[in-house]
Amino acid sequence: MKSISVASTIATALAVILTLPVSAPAQNASETLYKGKCSACHGADGTGTAMGKKLGALDFHSAEVRKMSDAALVDTITNGRDKMPAFGKSLKAEDIQGLVAFIRTLQK
């Protein structure tokens, strides 16, 4: 009986942890990464800078980007797009996932 209770408690704790939003430290790391790698073209708020717009950087608030799946955003960041460089070799997969999560917060 006791082992079932422990297993149930662990399963419940894992379920809760996996449903929590990105933690504040992870969000801050993603925001810092965004500021360093993305904001020069996409702007601090995701709407794009003058230079970014000239280069074809997408506005993260646009319908086009809002409709993109997270997997499509990961692919774009990893492999680049048009004049946007690929970051797949310079960023870890979890960093790219964090950028996608941060971009989604800009859309709210």
DSSP string over 3-63 = HHHHHHHHHHHHHHHHHSPPPHHHHHHHHHHHHHHTHHHH-TTSS--HHHHHHTPPPTTSH
**CB of 103 closer than 8 Å to CB of 46:** yes
> pTM of this prediction?
0.74
Structural domains of the chain ordered from first start: 23-106 (1.10.760.10)
- Tens digits of pLDDT across the chain (108 residues): 455 566 566 656 545 454 455 556 667 899 999 999 999 999 999 999 999 999 999 999 999 999 999 999 999 999 999 999 999 999 999 999 999 999 999 998
- For residues 101 and 107, the answer to whether their CB atoms sit within 8 Å is no
